[in-house]
Amino acid sequence: MEFKAWFQCINPECESQYELTEIIYRCKKCGELLEVRHDMDLLKQRSSEKWKTLFESRYRRNEWPYGSAVWGKRELVCPNVENENIVSTYEGGTNLFWAERLGQQLGLDDLWVKQCGMAHTGSFKDLGMTVLVSMVKQMIASGKNIKAVACASTGDTSAALAAYCALAGIPAIVFLPKDKVSLAQLIQPITHGVLTLSLDTDFDGCMKLVQEVCQKNDIYLANSMNSLRIEGQKTISFEIVQQFNWKVPDFVIVPGGNLGNVSAIGKGFQMFYDLGLIDKLPRLVCAQAQQADPLYRSYIKGFKTFESVQAKKTLASAIQIGDPVSYKKAIRALQAFDGIVETATESELANAAGKANKTGLLCCPHTGVALAVLEKLINNGVIKKKDRVVVISTANGLKFTDFLFKYHTNQIEGVASEHAFSPIELSANYEQIRKTILEKIEV
């Protein structure tokens, strides 16, 4: 079958359509964001059981490009790219970690952490970037004039764009807020030889500038307002369902900053539901840092209004965003999924990560936000003991060793580290070592 997809305006009173090869990010008629739509009638011509069989036959195998957990679902993601133009690092298929010990401490029997940070560049951003950069390669091959691809970033998007463009041989530019990303995140685009601009502003300032630069200079925009990214990120939902043997969890908790991932995960579950691969939808929870919580403020007012805020400095730097581009898509997803928005303070997110890491996880601060919100929802009775809960861990904890070091050395201002653990310095003396070990393990 000749599957197809296109851009469509999210405004229900407009719904203008555009080709995926068109360089466009907002509707020409009404100015709203776009989303990728698929020919669902054509997709439904294949039965749900045949889809499952096909996806199982491809999952983590070696036939190009289907071993990628994104491109293994290419008919549902981006059928418009030819195989020779796909740019892939074998992304997806990340671990669904059974957090049994942490769950027991929190009073849950069935807690899981989807470790999206176990990826080529260490975050879930790879899932969307493989789709976007592949489409750019397709457009360049068909004669489109694209000088480079650019993004504003809080650290993870820039790393993914840099790696995929380096792999494809396509010039890339990243706009970073100066001194607001970790060293590990800063070094990633630099080591790939990508033009890296460190700007004296915050993410929202970088976002405004990159849009202007792209609009006026034949440079393609790679931020999540470009809905090609969302198509890759929605495969998080596909993976979770497949890893649970085609069953659906009760709750999925997602850290929220620019809010593309919340809408992406909702879109993935909805698509599987519409195709008959699942028979229910989970409840979606968006977890925001209290220092950057515009969606939460809208939620407590019933989503009747939405106002951007000036984001304050937060340990969860990747979601330190006060003017999220995808808020309308996120609100739509949350309303469709009986969604919840909750926040976490700096102390709550840091200690939630500290507690989880003592049970074998290695959490970034953004995962700490989601875990802190999880604990709140358990304590207020929204999440019950028998509920199956998946927390989306967005990035590898090793990208945030500065946060972890400061936490365990009690150097985070305003945070009392409840789970701090430090090395003990001793002389190389057997008796002293033996005495110390016995004292500690008998406590």
Identify the burial level of 373 via C-beta atoms within 10 angstroms of its C-beta, where 0-12 means exposed, 13-18 middle and 19 or more buried. Answer: buried
Return per-residue pLDDT of the chain as tens, 443 residues: 789 999 999 999 999 999 999 999 999 999 999 999 999 999 999 999 999 999 999 999 999 999 999 999 999 999 999 999 999 999 999 999 999 999 999 999 999 999 999 999 999 999 999 999 999 999 999 999 999 999 999 889 999 999 999 999 999 999 999 988 888 899 999 999 999 999 999 989 999 999 999 999 999 999 878 999 999 999 999 999 999 999 999 999 999 999 999 999 999 999 999 999 999 999 999 999 999 999 999 999 999 999 999 999 999 999 999 999 899 999 999 999 999 999 999 999 999 999 999 999 999 999 999 999 999 999 999 999 999 999 999 999 999 999 999 999 999 999 999 999 989 999 999 999 999 999 988 75
For the chain, state the CA radius of gyration. 22
Sequence-distant (≥ 6) Cβ neighbours of residue 318 within 8 angstroms:
154, 155, 156, 255, 257, 364, 366, 394, 395
Inter-residue contact 412 to 420 (CB < 8 Å): no
Name the residue among 258, 256, 252 with its Cα closest to residue 237. Answer: 252
Partnered with residue 110 across adjacent β-strands are 388
Partnered with residue 197 across adjacent β-strands are 175
Name the residue among 290, 340, 299 with its Cα closest to residue 320. Answer: 290
CA gap 268, 274 in Å, rounded: 10
Bridge-based pairing state of the strands 219-221 and 195-199: unpaired
Helices (DSSP H) in 107-202: which residue ranges?
A: 125-141, 156-168, 183-191
Q: Is the pTM of this model over 0.85?
A: yes
CA gap 111, 98 in Å, rounded: 6
Name the residue among 182, 240, 187, 180 with its Cα closest to residue 207. Answer: 180
Inter-residue contact 76 to 38 (CB < 8 Å): yes
Between the CA of residue 443 and those of 36, 53, 262, 431, 440, what are the distances in Å?
57, 52, 43, 19, 5
Give the DSSP letter of residue 282. Answer: P
CA gap 264, 239 in Å, rounded: 13
CA gap 80, 131 in Å, rounded: 10
CA gap 433, 156 in Å, rounded: 42
Inter-residue contact 321 to 288 (CB < 8 Å): no
Q: What is the dihedral of CA 167, 170, 173, 176, to 10 degrees?
A: -20
